[in-house]
Structure 1
């Protein structure tokens, strides 16, 4: 048998740098903490928000793939993570705003170990960092959770998707799974300190999209994002 061994992507980093690294690997402690967190979140969503999933069969059981959805609440990433099972759940990373989720040591620890988030710095992410995320997605068979609007909606209306999604998947066969979150804004709107129990939350998962023939250039990135945006909008129970 031929062995293909490579060092961990985060080998040699200091603990603080490792938390913010795009190459962070979970380790046994990270996997245990993340598993416990996902179970707790799933139980909370079911009990407090009557969390319901439609279209579960459209969700791949293993990576690589990218889940994209409308974004109006801090519950959004938790809901998408709660929908995952098995290898996909263990290899899932939410792409989160670095300045918000990795702004200090305490947030970095929570984001890295509980949510398994990877930082994306608004206005500071370089092409090389996106190339790293693209490579890891395919090579490590990861699942990314991404909100291509770039920020939470304050009104509930979905904003146009930014082209970053296309930079991750254009020219590959990696599935992009469109999702719609219904009720998340009512359950935990932007500006509220805590979620509001009793407000129902539904995740609707649509058929996966693939872009193997799309050029990996700016026009291709925009085409990917436009098609994914249209697919997400079609899932809305009350299309805008």
Structure 2
């Protein structure tokens, strides 16, 4: 955490920010948020806001132009390596891995931005739609099953924030696995990739986290 010109990042006690993430200046991280390893949130020009229950995963970058405010809305879900710059997302949005969302873009509520897509400056993504490509274009309306899949994945990250706050500690690696090695509390019963969820419509509670 770094202050700049006396402005200090704000992190709610119920959020988790990984120790290798960097937060600078006017950054606001709300309750039940998760900020992953090596993420960069630079509030050195304008304000960066993560609303309640959102997650910004490993190696993501969140920045904005001077005098502006960039917002990841409530229950937002940003995959590994994505870049958000000067944009606003409404509640329930999914930004895929390595996607780029540019300045003044507005991602409507519960919309999905596909992995590796580029949302150009000023583009408005309609609510509950999938956009993909470079530049991103509207592909179709999302199904109720896809929206449920995303909501479940976000809950898994909200749970991860709590798990990390209560049990994540830095350790030295073992030379070999112990014979009675414990299993983690998450499994395929909690979440699966979207392609698997689509292939098993009889099991609608299996969803993706990544």
TM-score bracket for this pair, using the shorter chain length:
under 0.3
TM-score normalised per structure 2: 0.27
Higher relative contact order structure (alpha carbons within 8 Å, sequence separation ≥ 6): 1
